[in-house]
Amino acid sequence: MKVKKREAFDHIRLSSLCLIYRVKMQSGMAMLAVVAIILSVVTFATITTTQSVQQFYTHEKVRRDSESSKVSLKQHLKNVAGALRSQSVTNALNTTDVDYLSTTIDVSALEGTEGQPLTHFKVKVSHDSDNSAYTTHFLRYPSLLRLPTPSQHLSWDNQVTNWLFNRDISSLSASFFAESESLTQCHNMLPANVYWITGNCVLNSNALAHHSGSNPILLVIVNGNLTLQANTHVHGLIVMLSTSHNSFTLKVSSSASITGTYVANTPITEQINGAIVLSTPLLQTLQASTPLAKIMPIPGTAYDDL
């Protein structure tokens, strides 16, 4: 009897151990399944995040490349416009040529309401690698926007700078002109077509030997007297400006001359012993000359051409 009871007890104990083992095994399998699911989720999230990061950097690179391309195109447009101010279209294209950029220029000759010579440019620049393009319209116009009126010739007008240059005297300086010589005296003057002199100016026959009726000059005298010595001949426009209440003097020696005209913004003292020859054609030549040209983008005409 004792043996049978012992065998029964052992059987029950073995069964219990097997049951416990199966339960633990099932729990372990369940735990492994949960871990596998978590790992799968983490792996998926990692892959998704990696793809998102890669897409972000890809899009960011495309955006930066696009911005860089636009900056390159706009800078090239400025360079082309700067060249067009003083050069022909062919020369402007040659001097601003860039291997990876293509440039086309359409030109139209216009005339202002006062007969001003104007030139309209449509400039398109494209990037060869990504086919991006940018177009802007420019207008070339003379800094001498208007010629003196009959009442301003050989006289004064306190609004003369507004009429001639569309600038009040307070905002007019040598830098307004793209090509000018800014001096404080008139000795050893280098060849130029625009001179801005602050102070007294005494011109002799050699000072302006480079200019002529076909190559006239703009001579601006600020707060100073102007003297043309013997055999000195000025072809162009003389503008005498005063920014104070002082009166200044224009002196023309007997064998000297002015062909063109002179104007002032305040009354001046005139000592004219030489010849004064009014010449509108000469002033028109001056107005149309390259050294007096300016160029600007026409507002509202810039656009991406994609």
What DSSP string runs through 114-143?
T--EEEEEEEEEEETTT--EEEEEEEEEES
Residue of 234, 244, 245 lying closest to 282 (CA atoms): 234
Tell me the pLDDT band of 62, cut-offs 50, 70 and 90: very low
Given a cut of 70, is residue 14 above it in pLDDT?
Answer: no
The predicted-structure confidence for 155-210, as pLDDT tens digits, reads as follows 999 999 999 999 999 999 999 999 999 999 998 899 999 999 999 999 999 998 88
pLDDT value of position 304: 79
Residue 71: predicted pLDDT: 83
pLDDT for residue 46 is more than 90 = no
Confidence (pLDDT) at 70: 79
Name residues whose C-beta falls within 8 Å of residue 203's C-beta, 6 or more positions apart in sequence.
186, 226, 227, 228, 229, 232, 234
Structure tokens at 49: 């995040």
Mean pLDDT on 26-46: 68
Contacts of 119 (CB under 8 A, 6+ apart): 107, 108, 109, 110, 139, 140, 141
Structure tokens at 118: 């104007």
Average pLDDT over all residues of the chain: 87
Q: Give the pLDDT confidence score for residue 276 in this predicted structure.
A: 97
> In whole angstroms, what is the distance from residue 80 CA to residue 219 CA?
29
pLDDT value, residue 192: 95
Higher pLDDT, 44 or 150: 150
**pLDDT of 5 higher than 80:** no
Q: What is the pLDDT of residue 135?
A: 94
CA distance 294 to 84: 10
C-alpha 171/C-alpha 168 separation (Å) is 6
Q: What value does the mean pLDDT take over residues 93-109?
A: 94
Q: What's phi and psi for 247, nearest 5 deg?
A: -100, 140
Between residues 272 and 56, which one has the greater pLDDT? 272
* Residue 107 pLDDT grade (very low, low, confident, very high; cuts 50, 70, 90): very high
Share of the chain above pLDDT 70, in %: 78
Give just the sign of the alpha carbon dihedral 189, 157, 278, 274.
negative
Residue 239 near residue 218 (C-beta atoms within 8 A): yes
- 155: helix, coil or strand? strand
Tokens at 59, concatenated: 């899009």
Give 110-169 pLDDT, tens digit per residue: 999 889 999 999 999 998 887 789 999 999 999 999 999 999 999 999 999 999 999 999
Q: What is the pLDDT of residue 9?
A: 55
CA–CA separation, 169 vs 223, rounded Å?
A: 12
The amino acid occupying position 226 is L
Name every residue whose Cβ is closer than 8 Å to that of residue 213 and which is 6 or more positions away in sequence.
Answer: 235, 259, 279, 282, 285
Residue-wise pLDDT for 217-238, tens only, equals 999 999 999 999 999 999 999 9
Rounded Cα distance, 191 and 97, in Å? 29
**Rounded average pLDDT over 51-73:** 62
CA nearest neighbour of 267 among 240, 286, 292: 240
pLDDT at 66: 55
Q: Are 252 and 273 in contact (CB under 8 A)?
A: yes
Residue 265 near residue 289, CB atoms below 8 Å: no
